[in-house]
Amino acid sequence: MRLDDVELKGFAGRRAIHAVVPGDDPGLASFIAGRHALDQRRLAEALEELGRVDRGALARAARVVTEGVQNASRTPNTSNA
């Protein structure tokens, strides 16, 4: 499953980061819902869903994605200047 898109040094554009996650992972459904909401730019919903992922293989990934969203929302967008 796709965890996030990140900028990698030496590559143009963002690259998707994927992970293999067990189908019975306790945070899987909330992570998928959060990732889907994030892809549709529904940030409040995304943060709510990702915040529910408090255990399992995706718990740390959910925290990292959440921090990235929160940091991006605090940074002024200067790309349209």
- Measure CA 10 to chain center: 22
Please give the DSSP secondary-structure letter assigned to residue 20.
Answer: -
Domain residues for the domain of 63 are 2-74
The pLDDT value recorded for residue 77 is 58
Please give the DSSP secondary-structure letter assigned to residue 77.
Answer: -
Let me know if residue 30 belongs to a domain.
Answer: yes
- CA 75 to CA 33: how far, in whole Å? 25
* H or E element that contains 81: none
The pLDDT value recorded for residue 81 is 46
Which residues of the chain fall below pLDDT 70?
Answer: 76-81
Let me know if residue 43 belongs to a domain.
Answer: yes
Residue 50: CB atoms within 10 Å: 26
Let me know if residue 45 belongs to a domain.
Answer: yes
Number of domains present in the structure of the chain:
1
Let me know if residue 80 belongs to a domain.
Answer: no
- CA 14 to CA 66: how far, in whole Å? 17
Let me know if residue 81 belongs to a domain.
Answer: no
pTM, two decimals, is 0.81
